[in-house]
Amino acid sequence: MATGTYKYQSDFARHYFAQGFAEGLAEVVLKVLEMREVVISAAERERVLTCVDTDRLNVRLERAPVVGTADEFFA
């Protein structure tokens, strides 16, 4: 089996894999903001952590290295 090509067969497995992927992506987004010293509130942090839309999280990941404030980040 080639690495990275396995497809989960059950809806249960696909759901929890996707959930874990989104959670990890959200943590990365927050880490980038932290490293850049962009201050976000607890509510904004929770907003990122509860997002399950990986497309939106990918957009936020692209935005995180270039914003200077939380307002810019969430605009």
Residue 8 pLDDT exceeds 90: no
pTM score of the predicted model: 0.82
Q: Name the token pair of 7.
A: 């497809």
Higher pLDDT, 71 or 1: 71
Over residues 48-75, the mean pLDDT reads: 95
Q: What is the DSSP string of 2-56?
A: -TT-----SHHHHHHHHHHHHHHHHHHHHHHHHHTT----HHHHHHHHT---HHH
> Would 14 be classed as within a structural domain?
no
Give me the number of domains the chain comprises. 1
51 assigned to some structural domain: yes
Q: Does residue 22 fall inside a structural domain?
A: no
Looking at the domain assignment, is residue 46 inside a domain? yes
Query: DSSP code of 66?
Result: T
> Is 61 part of a structural domain of the chain?
yes
Domain assignment of residue 15, yes or no: no
